[in-house]
Structure 1
């Protein structure tokens, strides 16, 4: 099933023609209406008329999150404020928040993109969507909400938190689609098990999970514990919000909605484009945004692009699950480590829960990594010798996969603090 079959199954040659036309329009719009882009293009010796093919995109300068902060609050807007109908902003945990704006057309486009995302996941107008993403300045809640309504589904705008109410509404309203971060979904699964809820009262069939990196092993956990199909969604506020890409039930990467966005992979060090199949930093250019056109935005997310046609029939390029970010990547004794890599190892064993904490410290001149991981309820009641054996096996596996040694600290179930939003996975004491 498709939401906009004409675009979703468009031949690659025709899609490239559409992208070029929309790219040229976006570049002209940005150059004529945003001082930042006009200065950046002039400094690079580029004019809008120089964009004659998609290959010319690589000649344009990058945009970074710092550029949005430097132009706070509205310096990157390409329309007057009387045409901006909504503002969103990041949390501003480091420096000033990044502010994004939307025209009425932008909101309409976003709703269509998100409705498409639900259809890609297998959603229909008959579904009841329990939206546990946060509402407010964060784009997740309202982005999901408008898309589900555009689809015609019933929306439960419960937002994040208040887990007891989440479980009550899930049963009473017959929710069939759950949208939230994967870590919060696992927390809900734990609470369902702990509350001894009749599984027949849980009608969930699809989970749309995003906003943080998660592994294939975590998918297995979510699907087995919640009895649903767990699918990945990708987006970021600076580009539009959720709905840049969505995974279909083929589970072979997320379809990038290329009629609205151009995706590139670049080497984060050299900033040179990389071919399909090579991991690198995702760079995105918007093609249909009015209020805040974004050109070659460095997402800092590490992924791989694949161009093979998917079994679902969609012709869009697919991006693999984000394995981490260039700015939250840990470098421990010269080795690059992403939390999601460690998560995959921990979940291989089956005797631990998918809740962990990475504690990085420095003793003298050497970095040390300690991994806290929860034992499962079943395993925790076992003998001390078995626990020591598990610690040794985990330590050996981490060394084998990542090439670094780490101390393993097995802790009691429900010891590690839970999050109702993005899970905090790392404590880096080297920064203190």
Structure 2
């Protein structure tokens, strides 16, 4: 039976456990992974130099390029015969990022996803409609195993096939669904087309992730599906989904499962840790993974760390919503812009729908940004209001195109690309 009591561990005990696990992880990397052995030597460090949590800042970061440079198995710390699963990224920008799991890792993966689903409101005996993609993507199989660990009945429907998904929701009446937030809205459209209202839909909890989303999108998902929607966060390099999750009763930041993943937030320019409460790049160390533990992995996600929640009794810290990604940041005429900032500004206009696209182009030496967004109301007045709001709240001048509802690309279960960059198009 799943037991969430570890989440309320007294802080002194948690910090001591973290130090012990970090020391064991660094020693393992020194012994078994040549890349880390070289990095430690170049920094003049050995595992004996990690005597406190504060010492971790002296050790080198791991970046996505390190995984590509050691493709496919160079960062594994177990022999291939110990592997029980391989996952990989799509490899759209070159070689895929390959990650491996042994029996211990799969148990850890199931445990942290079970915690996440429990925080999201799921309880043993509920039926779980899992619309994350199965296969090399970690989402489907990861949430599947966590659902079983919690005691849910899992429907492994995977992504896409919207009409079939809707039929299964109608017939099986699941209480919990997991998918991307943009696909939740696709399902809401399809259910409404069949005459459903929130009152006739069985779903009660939605566990959404794998792409950035806003409070505006949360409100629409909740209103149209009749659910409580929470954010699940993760990345395959660390484990997959289940690094953190919001609590369904709070929805004020996602609880990080700090007994498995040690979080830091660092200044994106200097790499130095910043105090809790300040924005920076999230850096994670996997402390209990054995096949492929990563030390100080630079996620690229911009967020801040918050204290645990008194209402839930959890002592583990929360991570605030992702402001954007350091590598997805748009620099427009000298201003740093994240797509989520624009989305937040648009939340102030009720006539807009949360389906949009950002198109970057270049006129001469000047970059231009076109916001294409769906709205049932067309006209120059609304376009002008969109341009004014973005200028006032984000600090950049844009052009706006109002599009008919349903005309912009929709997710089919995978991640939805919001930015189209035409500046390098030939």
TM-score (norm 2): 0.97
Aligned to 2:97: 98
- Is the 2:197–2:225 contact (alpha carbons within 8 Å) kept by the matching residues of 1? no
> Post-superposition shift, 1:367?
1.1
Return 5+ residue gaps in structure 1 as ranges.
381-386
Q: Deviation per CA, 1:265-312: give whole Å up to 9, x if none.
A: 011111111111111100000110000010000000111111243421
User: Is 2:356 the partner of 1:364?
Assistant: no
Report the equivalent of 1:423: 416
1:384 paired residue number: none
* Distance (whole Å) between structure 1 residues aligned to residue 159 and residue 193 of structure 2: 20
Query: Which residue is equivalent to 2:247?
Result: 248
Task: Map 1:273-284 to 2 at 5 A.
Answer: 273-284=273-284
* Runs of 4+ displaced beyond 6 Å: none
User: CA contact under 8 A between 2:244 and 2:254: conserved in structure 1?
Assistant: yes
1:390 aligns with 2:382: yes
Q: Secondary structure at the match of 2:360?
A: strand
Report the alpha carbon displacement of residue 325 of structure 1 after superposing the two structures with TM: 0.6
Answer with 121-130 or 61-70: which moved more.
Answer: 121-130
Distance 1:144-1:119 versus aligned 2 partners, 3 A rule? same
Shift of 1:348: 2.1
Q: Is the 8 A contact 1:175 1:202 kept in 2?
A: no
3-state SS of 2:314 partner: coil
Aligned to 2:315: 315
- State the shift of 1:6 in Å: 3.7
Residues 302 and 322 in structure 1, CA contact (< 8 A), matched pair in contact too: yes
Whole-Å Cα distance in 1 between the matches of residues 382 and 271 of structure 2?
42
Question: Structure 1 CA distance, aligned partners of 2:125 and 2:173?
Answer: 11
Flag the 1:145–1:5 CA change in 2: closer, same or farther, 3 A. Answer: closer
Contact 2:198 2:224 in 1 (8 A): no
Normalised TM-score (structure 1): 0.96
Alpha-carbon separation, structure 1, partners of 2:369 and 2:205: 36
Report the counterpart of residue 287 of structure 2 in structure 1: 287
Deviation, 1:345, is 1.9
Moved more, 93-102 or 197-206: 197-206
For residues 350-399 of structure 1, the C-alpha deviation after alignment (integer angstroms, 9 at most, x for no partner) is 111110011111111111111000113xx36xxxxxx2211111111000
User: Partner of 1:361: helix, strand, or coil?
Assistant: strand
Pairwise mapping of residues 24-423 of structure 1 onto structure 2 (< 5 A)? Answer: 24-197=23-196, 199-249=198-248, 250-376=250-376, 379=377, 387-420=379-412, 421-423=414-416
Structure 2 gap ranges (5+): none
Partners of 1:180 and 1:35 in 2: how far apart?
A: 37
